[in-house]
Structure 1
């Protein structure tokens, strides 16, 4: 199992709040031997600009999007961007994709959130076709290239990519989307993955891999995990509580919140319903307070280096191949110290990257 760093959004609380801090964290992660740094996007900063900037300030650590939003870009634009970032980073780019959710897709990008699995399959088909410099002609349910009733003609990517097979990752929470990731991607981007329930998700991934006649060997299972280090576990949990509450309570509508469903089906159905109800009713403080300590402890790395080392072993034994950590520092010094504590915990756990 390898370590990764998830920067999340510029301008947000925690890692990645300021560009210069992001660069400091990534350079330190590179020095410590972290394998990859990921940048995210929702409706704040975009992932691409930050990674282009970081590519110029690093030399070994890989750089990935976790994720680029499928509703935000055409498949051809995504392929062009991936090829460019891979060239700028000397072959260190990983393309993470996700459908986002109905609120962002329809409210922010004006794209219908319908049949997301079928749309994702076609999207990845076109991205791979483009990166391999094939002439792009595609007749799908959601994408038709060129349009049949206009002057467009099939085109080919006008640059030679550094790599024609840039690794593609899919962000997936639900079982069907996880199976799809196993079938069409090179890696799976998960969030709030609990080692105690990881076997269920890995079974879905295996089903997807079996559809193409392969197994999980070489497939990257990525778990995005919040981290807060310190002596008092309860205090550490409080530092990640608002982050987790925001996803479970507010990332989606009452009918469509994938993170809320995930919490419910892993043993906390009543608590998930309560957190979402309070959050969407505007009682944010009460929603944060209602987030159970046990769920936070299962889905984050909290406490001392020794305690975190034990939990790292659990993730490795569960089948995670990249643990992508999200830090919540009060300042740069604390952030750097957290990264060093993670590297120390990996060493104590005896985990080889």
Structure 2
């Protein structure tokens, strides 16, 4: 099982300044982590951060988790991916996602209509561009070149480090997970629980079979919060705020993909309670309402022995890359948490 580091966004808290991010990725590189992932929403952007941070990591892979489909044309995404892959000497992983209606329509001005169809066409154009074909596409959402125009089918000028640069999709709903298996090289899963992963693996497998493929070589990536403490309640409390944000506030009452995921995992009543409190702007109460069982299932929390057991559970369930988000009261605690996971994974025979 490969190990990854989730850096998240830049500039949203007091602990994710550039110097801290650099210390985390340099440490991850030294410890043998395989990849670091950067996020974007409507603040910092991914390409700028990867371009800056990757200069300090000679071995570490880099990934976007995720670059938003409504934010860029598919051709612009192909240009950016090819550039970052050259900068990182063939170590870039292109993670894509449709975001949600509030960001897509409110920030980017792109209707959140037929997200699966748009994703399918978008990925096809990106692959065409990275393969350095003359880009020509006639779909429901994209038309290249524009008809009755002076446009022409152009070829990417930059020679990519890899024409088969891996494309990952962040997906949550069952249909979107199936599409991920069909058209992508990897899946970026959030709030992944080893106990519930078989259902998602089945959906990915169905998608692969549609394309005449198997899960062999397909990267099943799970994100997991990481909080080390001998007191399980203390460790879980560090992750409750983030869980409440997603379950309660990432979307509207009518459409929140993370809330729906928690419901499918058996936390329907609790998800409703968290959402009610969060939308009422009672954020602390919403965090307190996140059940510890949800945190325990979807994160690495507690002491070293418990975390070692959960690492085995993720590997046994079929996760091929585990991306951790270390938390702690100080930067030193976050760095120590990264070291602990690397040591435990090697000790369990899960990571070279």
**Could you say whether these structures have the same fold, taking a TM-score greater than 0.5 normalized by the shorter chain as the test?**
yes
Report the equivalent of 2:320: 321
Alignment of 1:1-353 (within 5 A): 1-13=1-13, 17-353=16-352
Contact 1:14 1:329 in 2 (8 A): no
Q: 1:72 deviation in Å? A: 0.2
In 1, the alpha carbon distance for the partners of 2:14 and 2:236 equals: 14
C-alpha distance in 2, partners of 1:69/1:103? 13
Question: Contact conserved, 1:169 with 1:185, CA < 8 A, in 2?
Answer: yes
Judge conservation of contact 1:11–1:45 (CA < 8 Å) in 2.
Answer: yes
Shift of 1:162: 1.2
Residues paired across the two proteins, number? 352
Q: Distance in 2 between matches of 1:349 and 1:302?
A: 17
Distance 1:115 1:54 in 2: 35
Could you tell me how far apart the structure 1 residues matched to 2:300 and 2:38 are? Answer: 20
Structure 2: distance between partners of 1:250 and 1:149: 44
Q: Matches of 2:14 and 2:90 in 1, distance apart? A: 28
**CA shift digits 1:17-36 (9 cap, x unpaired):** 11111111111101111110
Q: Assess if the C-alpha contact under 8 Å between 1:305 and 1:344 holds in 2.
A: no
Query: In 2, distance between residues paired with 1:330 and 1:54?
Result: 23
How large is the RMSD of aligned CA atoms in angstroms?
Answer: 1.0
Contact kept, 8 Å, 1:13 with 1:328, in 2: the verdict is no
- Point out where structure 1 has 5 or more consecutive residues left out of the alignment: none
Cα distance in 1 between the residues matched to 2:202 and 2:341: 28
Which shifted more, 313-322 or 53-62? Answer: 53-62
Alpha-carbon distance in structure 2 between the residues aligned to 1:163 and 1:298: 37
**Alpha-carbon separation, structure 2, partners of 1:100 and 1:18:** 24
Contact 2:3–2:351 under 8 Å retained in 1: no
Determine helix, strand or coil for the equivalent of 1:38: strand
- Structure 2's unaligned 5+ residue stretches are none
Question: Matched residues in 1 for 2:301 and 2:329: separation?
Answer: 16
| Residue pair 2:62, 2:91 contacting (<8 A) in 1 also | yes
**For each residue in 1:264-284, what CA deviation from the matched residue of structure 2 results, as whole angstroms up to 9, or x when unmatched?**
011110100111111112121
**1:218 CA displacement:** 0.4
Asked if the contact 2:38/2:64 (under 8 Å) is kept, the reply is yes
State the alpha-carbon separation in 2 of the partners of residues 11 and 240 from structure 1: 18
